[in-house]
Chain A
Amino acid sequence: NAGVTQTPKFRILKIGQSMTLQCTQDMNHNYMYWYRQDPGMGLKLIYYSVGAGITDKGEVPNGYNVSRSTTEDFPLRLELAAPSQTSVYFCASSYSRAGSTDTQYFGPGTRLTVL
């Protein structure tokens, strides 16, 4: 199992450009998440998905979009990049069902700089 994989590892964008951060998991997890980590801060939830075709906003969704067409993939889209979106982005997944506590598995992260 590769676990959770993310591409690219690093990216520099100019203000106003768009890009998609890719995330794939091979553990057949139903839940997937996108977080951002700003320097000296904890992780903040951007969007999450409880299954294919279902997504919901987290704490900081503005400026981002997601889709979940398959169980494995959960891409994060930035349409008009802004300097405030400079951050490290982590994708995570878990297998969740009612009443159970499930570990979230994290990818290695994508470091994005917007200039």
Chain B
Amino acid sequence: GDSVTQMEGPVTLSEEAFLTINCTYTATGYPSLFWYVQYPGEGLQLLLKATKADDKGSNKGFEATYRKETTSFHLEKGSVQVSDSAVYFCALRLSEKLVFGKGTKLTVNP
């Protein structure tokens, strides 16, 4: 079935470090891909999305490119801030349902 695999966390970085969180997927069709972020004590919020191959989603300094050839959607940010500390979920969407990865917890220290 359809699935999403994210890199295991937790990830701990210093402020201004470069961030990569890997995400790969398995799907029978051509899914849309998403990154959601969950701040402590809150629900999930959409961070960015891409709907077709080679699309790049971006928001708040985060970027991810839909790579069909490697079935990947890695999340990157050039310089993280303490306020980026959260859990990040990669997800795919086929039809009306989302399939989530397990999440990667990011902690950014000052």
Give the interface of A toward B (CB within 8 A).
Answer: 4, 31, 33, 40-45, 48, 50, 58, 90, 92, 94, 96, 101, 103-109
Q: Are A42 and B43 in contact (CB under 8 A)?
A: no
Complex Cα spacing A58 to B45, Å = 21
Task: Chain A residues near B101: list those with CB within 8 A.
Answer: 42
Give the interface of B toward A (CB within 8 A).
Answer: 4, 32, 36, 41-46, 49, 51, 89, 93, 96-98, 100-103
Task: Chain A residues near B32: list those with CB within 8 A.
Answer: 101
Give the number of A-B contacts (CB < 8 Å): 49
Contact among A42, A103, A107 with B100 in the assembled complex (CB-CB below 8 Å): A42
Q: Are A106 and B103 in contact (CB under 8 A)?
A: no
Closest residue on chain A to residue B102 by CB atoms: A42
Chain A at the B interface: mostly helix, strand, loop or mixed? strand
Q: Are A104 and B43 in contact (CB under 8 A)?
A: no
Task: Chain B residues near A108: list those with CB within 8 A.
Answer: 41-43
For residue B93, give the distance in angstroms from its CB to the closest CB of chain A.
7
Q: Are B89 and A42 in contact (CB under 8 A)?
A: yes
Q: Are A48 and B97 in contact (CB under 8 A)?
A: yes
Task: Chain B residues near A58: list those with CB within 8 A.
Answer: 97
Contact among A42, A43, A48 with B96 in the assembled complex (CB-CB below 8 Å): A48
For residue A9, give the distance in angstroms from its CB to the closest CB of chain B.
10
Complex Cα spacing A4 to B46, Å = 14
14 contacts between A and B (CB under 8 A): A4-B43, A40-B102, A40-B103, A42-B89, A42-B103, A43-B98, A43-B100, A48-B96, A94-B96, A101-B51, A101-B93, A103-B46, A103-B49, A108-B41
Complex Cα spacing A58 to B98, Å = 10
Task: Chain B residues near A94: list those with CB within 8 A.
Answer: 96
Known interface pairs A42-B100, A108-B43; 7 further A-B residue pairs with C-beta atoms within 8 A, sorted by A's residue number: A33-B98, A40-B102, A42-B4, A43-B44, A90-B43, A101-B49, A104-B98
Q: Are B102 and A41 in contact (CB under 8 A)?
A: yes
Task: Chain A residues near B46: list those with CB within 8 A.
Answer: 103-105
For residue B88, give the distance in angstroms from its CB to the closest CB of chain A.
11
